[in-house]
């Protein structure tokens, strides 16, 4: 069975070419930055490796989070133009990330995880089983919810 969907990295490269042809400076710079972050991650560690799409999504999620945090700092310091640029870059990065889970979907994920853990341990998990529940919930959410939101949801349901 061959997978005909292009990898996320090749999609980014194609989009970079399109952005350059359209003379879209912000999109070009942002995609270059994303490819650079992916490249850096690939050569990090003892051995260079090719990242899977799942790993690439983690890198992009981290970059998106950085943009949000930088925008907050710029806003707090009265640097609106820089905050706007960070927000714009963040929106471009977010186009490549999976759609985040709604609060209702997040509760479903947590309840499913609690059910699976309850089956494993033979009783309803309590706060001391949060690590087990988080592990299952993180796998189910598959990058569609950040750890902070997921942790808060698990904590409130246990």
Can you give the pLDDT at residue 1? 40
Can you give the pLDDT at residue 110? 92
**Measured distance CA(88)–CA(8) in Å, rounded:** 20
Can you give the pLDDT at residue 5? 59
DSSP output for the chain: ----SPPHHHHHHHHHHHHHHTT-HHHHHHHHHHHHHHHHHHH-SSS--PPPHHHHHHHHHHHHHHHHHHHHHHHHTT-HHHHHHHHHHHHHHHTTSPPPPPHHHHHHHHHHHHHHHHHHHTS---GGGHHHHHHHHHHHHTTSS-HHHHHHHHHHH-
pTM reported for the whole predicted model: 0.74
**Measured distance CA(50)–CA(5) in Å, rounded:** 17
Can you give the pLDDT at residue 122? 86
* Structural tokens at position 32: 């270059």
Spell out the residues 6+ positions from residue 82 whose beta carbon is closer than 8 angstroms to its own.
70, 74
Can you give the pLDDT at residue 144? 83
* Structural tokens at position 63: 């970059």
Can you give the pLDDT at residue 77? 95
Can you give the pLDDT at residue 4? 52
Q: Per-residue pLDDT for the chain (158 aa), expressed as one digit of tens each?
A: 444 557 899 999 999 999 999 999 999 999 999 999 999 999 988 888 988 888 898 899 899 999 999 999 999 999 999 999 999 999 999 999 888 888 899 999 999 999 999 898 888 888 888 899 999 998 888 778 878 888 998 888 88
């Amino acid at each position: 069975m061959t997978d005909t969907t292009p990898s996320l990295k090749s999609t980014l490269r194609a989009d970079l070419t399109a952005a350059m042809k359209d003379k879209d400076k912000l999109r070009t710079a942002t995609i270059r930055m994303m490819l650079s972050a992916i490249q850096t991650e690939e050569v990090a560690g003892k051995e260079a490796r090719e990242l899977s799409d799942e790993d690439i999504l983690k890198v992009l999620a981290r970059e998106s989070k950085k943009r949000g945090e930088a925008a907050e700092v710029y806003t707090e310091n009265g640097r609106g133009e820089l905050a706007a640029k960070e927000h714009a870059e963040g929106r471009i990065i977010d186009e490549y990330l999976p759609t985040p889970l709604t609060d209702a979907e997040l509760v479903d994920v947590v309840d499913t995880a609690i059910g699976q853990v309850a089956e494993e341990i033979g009783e309803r998990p309590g706060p001391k089983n949060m690590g087990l529940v988080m592990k299952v919930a993180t796998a189910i959410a598959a990058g569609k919810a950040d750890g902070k939101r997921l942790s808060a949801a698990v904590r409130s349901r246990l």
